[in-house]
Amino acid sequence: MLRRFTFWCHAPLLGGLVLVGAVSSGCASSSGTTTTTLSPSTKAILEARGALCTLITPADVKAVTGQSVALPKVGIHGVQTTCNYKAHVLASSVVTQFDSGATSASFQTFRSKAVSTFGQTTPVTGLTAGAYSFSATVGAGSLNSVVALVSSTQIMISGTCPVSQLETLVSTIVSRLPASAPNGTTSPNGSGS
């Protein structure tokens, strides 16, 4: 249920882009089988974007939340990378989403849509300028999210754990974000490109 809600929450807010534009036109057919070949640059970008899911580990999640989670299941859709850290009790799972094509304007639009959908956002201090959290009631509990913008990468992490724990996980991600983000942009740890 958590994963389903997460995709419902994120896809409408960010436009639900699809990877189709990143796949090269190198498709071949032999004996009825279709093979898609990625260009080396596209493959490198996708591998780097998948590496975003290693910025926090299951051990990090357990240390902060007390919940054991599996290695993340990675989903790449357009400029969005989703990392689903599935817990044995699904409601205790943690999901991160990276939007590698974010701008200040899209970050503000996302926040405005969060306000109109969930009622309010709360500023989060000590992360990045403009970072915020919001909560949604799910059944008898709450699904909390923390959202931050680092250069052109929007980071959102969601889970049923307290917002303070999600803030700690986002802080860990920000501190480990490589100087060159997967789409060729630069994080605060590096210089402009």
Predicted pLDDT of residue 106: 95
pLDDT at 22 over 60: no
- Structural element, H or E, at residue 136: strand 132-138
Taking the complete model, does pTM exceed 0.95, yes or no? no
Please give the CATH topology (third level) of the domain spanning 2-9+31-176: Protein Transport Mog1p; Chain A (3.40.1000)
101-133 per-position pLDDT tens digit: 899 999 999 999 999 998 899 999 999 899 999
Distances (CA, A) of 80 to 36, 74, 151, 160, 167: 20, 10, 15, 22, 20
User: What residues contact residue 39 under an 8 Å CB cut-off, 6+ apart?
Assistant: 24, 26
State the residue for tokens 């740890």.
189
Mean pLDDT, range 28-35, rounded to an integer: 40
pLDDT at 88 over 80: yes
Give the domain ranges of the chain: 2-9+31-176
